[in-house]
Amino acid sequence: MSLETNDSIEINAPSSTGPGASPVPSCDPSRLVPDIDPVPVKERAPLGVVELALDEGQTVRAIGLVYGIEHEISGDGFRATVFLDQYNQRLRVYNYEATDYEALILKLRWLAEANGFDKIICMAFPRDWERFLRHGYVLEAILKYYHGGEDALVMSKFRSQERLTSPNLMQEILLIEDILSREPMPGPRHPAPEHHVRLAQPDDIGPLIDLFRSIFRTYPTPLIHRSYLENVFQTESLFAVCEHDGAIVAAASAEMHPRVRAAELTDCATRADARGRGLMSALLQRLESELKRRDFICAYTMARARSFGMNAVFHQLGYEFNGRLVNNCDIFGAYEDMNIWVRDLRRLGTASPPQVP
């Protein structure tokens, strides 16, 4: 997820007036555009003592700060790896194989209901997405190139009216239309003078935690916990940092899925006093070049739909907008809608396909 707000994008948003105008504030290069404030739609999930159902008659009780549990399910005609996402009250299907799709889909529904989760998300293949559609799933986005170059269709099923309803959806639609109406400016990005962008080192873990804690009130992964960062650092996730006067002032990461040769650009954060200098664009391009060197195909992000700055960053870098995940995850104390942006890393250095507003 791309969560930072207000990276520098040198654009001039026209002033919006009149009954049909976009709520996006007018802006110029000297002023940053504020985000739309999040609105809580339901109570936060309990995290201290959690009991999760793994199967009929099988539960696990976890004590402590529990974000979720990765779990293998199987039955006659299917198998799947799922994530019981307690923090975000959703069931995520990481991968699956099925000859009996109805059995798989009913098992997913049972797991969600048994754990009180009100959203199920599955990265379906083009060949079978309609099987999910027939069981009440909706197509929220297309993650192009995700399955080793083949598209993934993000199929979601909502289990409550609160999770299905987004109070800011119209504002978010107008915001993305405004961004897509502007010409992207692909090409190398260079940070402001006296700033240095590089891949992170183990000694950077402490400063990274300090940076993330200073920005995010809540976060959908255990990003601010040292043991978590030490476990994923530069193995499951690549981190890049930007230094100024010997201090880390901005960072971003790429959560890698080598099995499908895809990576999510996420954990975007810039210290408040360093925003507006184009640092995030340079960080993302550094991660892109490393992913391409490692033969990854798909780079994608989930940007907060309420953030003008982060969505503008990915549009200007040449990413394709491919949908929106409604009430997807808890970031700033409320569920956030997340916009999907995708790039084919094989096309780096070539023109991106045009976007239709």
- At 229-253, the pLDDT tens digits run 888 887 889 999 999 999 999 999 9
CB atoms within 10 A of CB 131: 17
Q: Inter-axis angle of helices 169-180 and 308-316, to 10 degrees?
A: 30
Q: Compare 91 and 15 and report the one with higher pLDDT.
A: 91
Look at 275 and 174; give whichever has higher pLDDT: 174
CB 106 within 8 Å of CB 137: no
Confidence of residue 45 (pLDDT cuts 50, 70, 90): low
- At 228, the pLDDT band (50, 70, 90 cuts) reads confident
At 240 the pLDDT is 96
CA distance linking residue 346 with residue 333, whole number of Å: 37
Same fold, 49-164 and 169-347: yes
Contacts of 228 (CB under 8 A, 6+ apart): 221, 222
Task: Give the C-alpha distances (Å, rounded to integers) separating 119 from 162, 232, 267.
Answer: 11, 26, 23
Of the candidate ranges 18-27, 202-211, 301-310, the one whose mean pLDDT is the lowest: 18-27
**pTM for this model (two decimals):** 0.82
Asked whether the predicted pLDDT for residue 353 surpasses 60, the reply is: no
Do the Cβ atoms of 52 and 62 come closer than 8 Å?
A: yes
Pick the CATH number of 169-347 from 3.40.630.30, 3.30.70.20, 3.40.50.300, 3.90.1640.10: 3.40.630.30
Q: State the DSSP code for 305.
A: T
Is a pLDDT exceeding 70 seen at residue 354? no
Question: Do 154 and 119 touch, CB atoms closer than 8 A?
Answer: no
| Phi then psi dihedrals of residue 342, to 5 deg | -135, 145
Determine the angle formed by the axes of helices 308-316 and 279-293, rounding to 10 degrees: 50
Residue with tokens 């780079």: 299
Q: Provide the pLDDT for residue 41.
A: 57
Asked if the model's pLDDT at residue 67 lies above 90, the reply is: no
**Average pLDDT score over the chain:** 84
Using CA atoms, how far apart are residues 311 and 4, in angstroms rounded to an integer?
Answer: 10
The predicted model gives 275-288 an average pLDDT of 92
Mean pLDDT of 246-271: 94
pLDDT in tens, 138-196: 999 999 999 999 999 999 999 999 999 998 899 999 999 999 999 988 777 787 788 99
Return the residue matching tokens 């960080």: 283
Going from N- to C-terminal start, the domains of the chain cover 49-164, 169-347
Residue 82 in this model has a pLDDT that exceeds 80: yes
pLDDT band at 221; cut points 50, 70, 90: low
**pLDDT: is 354 or 173 the higher one?**
173
CATH class, 49-164 region: alpha beta
Q: What string of H, E and C letters represents the secondary structure of 192-233?
A: CCCEEEEECCHHHHHHHHHHHHHHCCCCCCCCCCHHHHHHHE
Residue 190: per-residue pLDDT = 81
Please tell me the distance from the alpha carbon of residue 243 to that of residue 220, in angstroms, as a whole number. Answer: 26
Tell me the per-residue pLDDT of 7-42, one tens digit each, with 9 for 90 and over. Answer: 434 333 333 333 344 444 433 433 455 665 555 555
Strand blocks (E) in the chain: 49-55, 58-63, 68-75, 78-85, 90-98, 119-124, 138-147, 150-158, 195-199, 237-244, 247-257, 262-270, 298-304, 320-330, 335-344
8 A C-beta contact, residue 308 and residue 348: no
57 or 172, greater pLDDT: 172
Structure confidence at residue 277 (pLDDT):
85
Question: What's phi and psi for 311, nearest 5 deg?
Answer: -65, -40
pLDDT at 5: 42
